[in-house]
Amino acid sequence: MGEHRGNWVWPGALAVVIAVVLAGCSSSSSSSTTTTGAGTTAPSTTGGTAPPGGNSPGVTATSINVGAISTLTGSIASDFNGLAPGVQAYFDMVNAQGGINGRKLNLAWNLDDGGQSSQFTQLTHTLIDQDHAFAVMVASYWFTPNYFVETKTPTYGYNVSGNWATAPNLFGAGGNSVQNYAAGVPFYAFAMKQTHSKSIAVISYGPAITSSYDACNTSATVLKQAGYNVSYVDVGAQLGGSFSSAVQRMQQSGTDFVMSCMQESDNITLARDIQQYGLHVTQLWLSGYDRSLLAQYHSLMQGVYLGNNGTVPYEVGTSDPSTYPGMAQYLAAMNKYEPAFTYNGVAVQGWQSAALLADAIKQAGNNLTQANIINITNHFTANSSGGLSTVTNWETAHTTTTYPTCTGFVKVVGTKFVPVWATGKQVFVCLGKNSSKNPVPVTPPVGTPGT
């Protein structure tokens, strides 16, 4: 989320980009082997016999050693430190079952770039040249793909930097290696249709905060082209500002649907201003699917819709575990091994990344080389990232959006997020290409969780 996640994104990375801007562009623990910083000592890979077949750094007769680079300290750490716990919980679950083909998965290095681009570059060389990691997991705004691509290292993680496309060894979590904001527009049109809305306002920050600006600016343009009444556009809103003037303009223009591409705290301020001025509108937020936020502001969030892109909502993992065993398995393992990060969106991406690597390792057997892992993964045509996301066709996901694309919507009802608009037990709505004018759901692709 063929690539039915669609390689498009709700700006879940929005808070990250904002945090970096606010910081002037300037931890969690794993089981036993997690360390931070550039001075990590690599575990020995000479104690066992490496499998036949070529280049297998980090592989012993009993283990496969993987590294991670995340921002674990500094002002933006909370936006990145969930990836390694998600990876670790998946590895712990697999290892408790005996590992894969006789080998344990070991998150041997969890390095901290401190929110600094120069440190990220240094740690890249540390993991690849010194530690000889078999694969690398990444959660950093400062991700630069050059050396990963040059060394053909299997690389997985959180695509917040927008530069995960093209290279065959870069695997954005949940199939999100290509960012395509236009592919999300039919879902906004679908939300308007479902709520019988006639006039939409879009609001985002300016071009300096690209994930916010690109999402809403693209949406306003495409919706206008499709014939929708885009009654108000503000793609230059201020971080931490007041939105009373914008709400009054919406009121004057007859707006009945508001789409926000802003961060959670500003969405709350917007909702407060909407309530204060008595504006009766449907709200769709692209950021705010957060249980702690809902617990604090449920009175302001009533009736708000949120998109969850191609990821299964947490709620069905407990309400319908037989239909969504992947989410049920995720919740159980996270609650057992990394409970502080169970409902962390980046931890989900860590789990997805670990699951994708593990799927390839299973198929590789004794031909456990980096090249073979990359080759196997790029022949997955319907991979669901451990059952957490709509299926990805990795034969095309590095470069293009494959249709139909699918997403899930949730609505705030009381103190809960409730999945909406899908049919039966399905949580995903799937739409075809160029469906903005008349968004009619189609059957989810084979392999989609819930089918």
Q: What is the pLDDT of residues 411-448, one digit of tens each?
A: 999 999 999 999 999 999 999 988 999 999 999 999 99
In the chain, where the domains are located: 9-176+315-390, 181-307
Q: Report the Cα–Cα distance between both ends of the chain, in Å, rounded.
A: 15
Q: Is the peptide bond prior to 404 cis by the omega test (within 30 degrees of 0)?
A: yes
Helices (H), 302-440: 315-319, 325-337, 345-364, 370-377
What pLDDT is stored for residue 434 in this prediction? 87
Residues in the chain: 451
- Say which CATH superfamily domain 9-176+315-390 falls into: Response regulator (3.40.50.2300)
Residue 125 tokens read as 């060389």
HSE, side-chain direction, 13 A CA sphere, residue 125: 4
Q: Do 181-307 and 9-176+315-390 have the same topology in CATH? A: yes
Alpha carbons 146 and 249: distance in angstroms, whole number: 46
Q: What is the DSSP letter of 126?
A: I
Residue 351 — left, alpha, or beta (φ > 0 → left; ψ -120 to 50 → alpha)?
Answer: alpha
Where does the pLDDT of residue 17 fall: very low under 50, low under 70, confident under 90, or very high at 90 and above? low
What pLDDT is stored for residue 161 in this prediction? 87
Query: Can you say how many angstroms the Cα of residue 35 is from the centroid of all Cα atoms in its chain?
Result: 24
- Contact present, 157 and 349 (Cβ < 8 Å): yes
Residue 41 — left, alpha, or beta (φ > 0 → left; ψ -120 to 50 → alpha)?
Answer: beta
What pLDDT is stored for residue 4 in this prediction? 30
Q: What is the pLDDT of residues 321-375, one digit of tens each?
A: 999 999 999 999 999 999 999 999 999 999 999 999 999 999 999 999 999 999 9
pLDDT at 8 over 60: no
- The two beta strands, 305-307 and 405-413, are antiparallel
Where does the pLDDT of residue 38 fall: very low under 50, low under 70, confident under 90, or very high at 90 and above? very low
Q: What is the pLDDT of residues 434-443, one digit of tens each?
A: 899 999 999 9
Average pLDDT, the chain: 89
The packing angle between helices 345-364 and 325-337, to 10°, is 110
Query: How does DSSP assign 422-444, residue by residue?
Result: --TT--EEEE-TT-SSS---BPP
- Say which CATH superfamily domain 181-307 falls into: Response regulator (3.40.50.2300)
Where does the pLDDT of residue 40 fall: very low under 50, low under 70, confident under 90, or very high at 90 and above? very low
